[in-house]
Structure 1
Amino acid sequence: MPSPAPPTRFLPNDIFPSVDIGTCSSPLIKPSFGSTLQVPSQRLQGKVTSRPWSSVIYWKELHCVQPVGSGGFGSVYKAKYLGRTVALKKVKKCAKNELASRQSFWAELNAAHLRHRNIVRVIAATTCMPSDFGDESSIGAILMEYVGSRNLQQMIYGCAEETLEPGWWLSHSLDIARGLHFLHSHLIVHLDIKPANVLVSGEGVCKIADFGCSVQLESKRQASDVVPLSRAGGTYTHTAPELLKGEGVSAKSDIFSFGITLWQLMTREQPYAGDRQHVLYAVVAHHLRPKVEHQAAFQSEPGTLCKTLLSRCWAAQASTRFSAQELIVQLENLRTNIGLGKI
């Protein structure tokens, strides 16, 4: 069972209440409208670390809540919190699998203690919600930085005015690779990298979001070795073959998903066509991958250079794939080779 949160809790320096106001969903004091939030301790080199996020949401300071989108395990809203624009994600119970939805909520917090330019930042989270914000189907709420309303899925397939020039897809893919390198260096595997889970800020910065399928490894050795995965998740078109076979998870599983995402950035096409089960079987048994031959995106010099990179990213054997750090070097070299320079 996860351990209770320590009495010392704090918000990020740029978002904090000047006084103790509003309904407080404390993990140590059980309010009348919900259960307490039991927060797993975060450890770094064997020591428990302080969290740069809060297990308290001051609900009276949350205003102008507007729906942005919804998915299988929850809905996302744009809101104002203590004068700042934020995103509120309400995680709901899945009628078919309540355990999976609860696992998804806790997985969302795997990266909550991390701060990086290419990772969506968590501000606060709680399992206690007042009646005017939650209902019986709500498991909890997560308050995050508001990146914007665009994700890569929308930009690839819904914005015809976006030109898929090498500078565009290299910049975005480097952002994703840097976010993955940071996650993997902290022993976190995302397990659902795809365009829809990459938000794009108004400045064009990509930020990895939606950690509902993520896994926190326990040692650096596990970051390179395959370890058992106790639950299924992710999107089948982007899932590495070792996961489809039930063999286990490693950081290299994210690199496979990255390869599919990069291919989408370059081609503006869907990775596969046909029946889901047929695709799953073909990926595992016949090494089916998105087509690169006779694709216009791969006829140019950047595209030709990228063929080898993609073949390493989505190699059948996880050990053959690049690490995220190696991937960054490859992408930066590619930018240099086509005259764009490093960023």
Structure 2
Amino acid sequence: MELERPKFESVETENLEKWKLIGFGGFGQVFKARHKKWRCDVAIKLPRDADGDIELCEEANHMAQVSFHSSVLRLYGIYSGYPPNGGQKIQLGIVMEFMDRGSVQTLLETLSGPPPYPLAFRLAYEIAQGMNFLHEKGILHHDLKPSNVLLDGDLHAKLADFGLSRVSTSVLMNSKEMSTVKGGTPEYMPPESFDPLYEPVRKFDIYSYGILLWSIICGKKPFPDADPGLVKVRIPKGDRPPCKEIDQTKAEGLRELVGLMERCWDGDPSKRPDFGECDEITKDVFSKHRAGIHHAVGQVMKKLDSQHGNQYPDTCGPPGVNHEMRGQSESNDIVDARTEMQNMQLDHQQSNTSSPSGFTAEMPASNDTLDIPLQQNNVSSSARNLTEHEKAAEFVDRNRKTLIQEVSEVLAIAEELGDLVHPEAYSKIRATRTSRDGMRELFDGPLRSGGRRVKAAFFDALKKHHPDLVERLGG
């Protein structure tokens, strides 16, 4: 049966120039390109293969229903043509608005903490506005998190990534279409979603919004050091990100926002508010700080420009892509030294952290919750973490020649590394003719510049894709 394509404006290859890979992930790649006639930059999301065309068209259809809202990423059309390094087959893609300032995730990473309160409160309000619009249009986002909230040139928030979204017919009841929905990001998923028989409803997004609010206010990821398997166990038992570190007296309205996030992540879905109420509360909180927004945005943009050499980061956001874009003007030796120092600082910070998992029980937990030894299921100390990294790095360095010769799943391993592999390096690996050439690119690029952290991640991916080889080499 021929695929029924969405009826959108068609964008052909001859209309585009200056292609640049800016992101990649399990679904495919994202490029930045210049549209010759429109005279503006656009983002183009391409699926990995033809099997992704159906999902891509479904995503475009969902975007088309909501992309005219100011807090939702705008859909321009459907790409059809032969993209760079795309082979001899015509590919379909989604042509979207290009976002100058990356995502909330890249913002928090660049600032190494939360944005000023006026900006944080505006982000909370704009995200609630966009999500309320989605729900009113019957669309469930299903993967709300910092990397899927993009920022324009003035740091206004826009929702992106509709790859997991589905049609919802009511607040508490599911449509048949949603019965096969799987996926999401564990740290942002509600406790009921870890039941294998669970079918997502709108309260799923409300929970995710509560965790997202915490990330914005605290300026970091929830449960940063916890094993994903442990997250899936502890969240249903009542664990949530810690709110004790938030000084609710620091800003007017902060107490109300913390109260809202705690209601959003309530273990009982029926007790969570809807996005209409979230919109009202966040609107009121932001109104108390509206006068300071221009100064706050100016401060943040000045820091972003200084971090990126007075240039916008080439990041745009669709689903599951690598958002980490860093300049490559520094020599490898400088990058090696700087990365190694950062790893040492990270190890030192972890050695002074009392709760390595980042969990705190915000609600009463059953007795069996206390029987799960967090220290044994995760890294218990910086000494152990450092030893594991050192062992992995030593294994990778010692077996470089053999790994280059025998590792065949190079692209899959590069994808496992995610943000640790720069898109330009990934593009080079993908373009190599043989697995040996791909491994050489991996060793000469990410494994050389990334230090112990990347080598440890590479070692973990290697164990997954080549367990026999790792065992034979004594890993």
Structure 1: how far apart are the matches of 2:86 and 2:20? 14
Structure 1: how far apart are the matches of 2:227 and 2:185? 14
% same residue: 25
Amino acid across the alignment from 1:167: P
Partner of 1:90: 46
Structure 2: how far apart are the matches of 1:79 and 1:292? 42
| Match among 123, 133, 142 for residue 182 of structure 1 | 133
Q: What SS class does the counterpart of residue 169 from structure 1 fall into?
A: helix
Shift of 1:311: 1.3
Q: Quick one: structure 1 residues 207 and 71, their matched pair in 2 at CA, closer, same or farther if it must change by over 3 Å?
A: same
User: Does the aligned pair in 2 maintain the 1:192–1:234 contact within 8 Å?
Assistant: yes
1:257 maps to 2:208: yes
Structure 1 segments unaligned to the other structure (5+ residues):
2-35, 41-50
Structure 1: how far apart are the matches of 2:54 and 2:249? 44
Alignment of 1:321-336 (within 5 A): 321-336=272-287
Shift of 1:116: 0.8
Higher strand share: 1
Structure 1: how far apart are the matches of 2:189 and 2:284? 27
Q: What SS class does the counterpart of residue 282 from structure 1 fall into?
A: helix
Shift of 1:197: 0.7
User: Does the aligned pair in 1 maintain the 2:132–2:276 contact within 8 Å?
Assistant: yes
Partner of 2:109: 157
Alignment of 1:1-343 (within 5 A): 38-39=4-5, 53-54=8-9, 56-81=10-35, 82=37, 83-93=39-49, 101-102=52-53, 104-109=55-60, 110-114=62-66, 115-126=68-79, 128-130=80-82, 134-135=86-87, 140-160=92-112, 164-217=115-168, 219=169, 222-227=170-175, 228-245=178-195, 246-272=197-223, 273-284=225-236, 286-293=237-244, 295-298=245-248, 300-301=250-251, 302-336=253-287, 338=288, 340=290
Q: Kindly name which structure, 1 or 2, has the bigger radius of gyration based on alpha carbons.
A: 2
User: Does the aligned pair in 2 maintain the 1:187–1:223 contact within 8 Å?
Assistant: no
User: Does the aligned pair in 1 maintain the 2:114–2:120 contact within 8 Å?
Assistant: no
Structure 2 segments unaligned to the other structure (5+ residues):
294-475
User: Does the aligned pair in 2 maintain the 1:73–1:104 contact within 8 Å?
Assistant: no
TM-score normalised over the length of structure 2: 0.55
User: Does the aligned pair in 1 maintain the 2:82–2:91 contact within 8 Å?
Assistant: no
Shift of 1:304: 2.6
Q: What SS class does the counterpart of residue 77 from structure 1 fall into?
A: strand
Q: Quick one: structure 1 residues 149 and 163, their matched pair in 2 at CA, closer, same or farther if it must change by over 3 Å?
A: closer
Shift of 1:307: 2.4
Q: What SS class does the counterpart of residue 258 from structure 1 fall into?
A: helix
69-78 vs 178-187, greater mean Cα deviation = 69-78
Higher relative contact order (CA 8 A, sep 6+): 2
Structure 2: how far apart are the matches of 1:107 and 1:176? 22
Higher helix share: 2
TM-score normalised over the length of structure 1: 0.75
User: Does the aligned pair in 2 maintain the 1:74–1:89 contact within 8 Å?
Assistant: yes
User: Does the aligned pair in 1 maintain the 2:27–2:47 contact within 8 Å?
Assistant: yes
User: Does the aligned pair in 1 maintain the 2:47–2:93 contact within 8 Å?
Assistant: yes
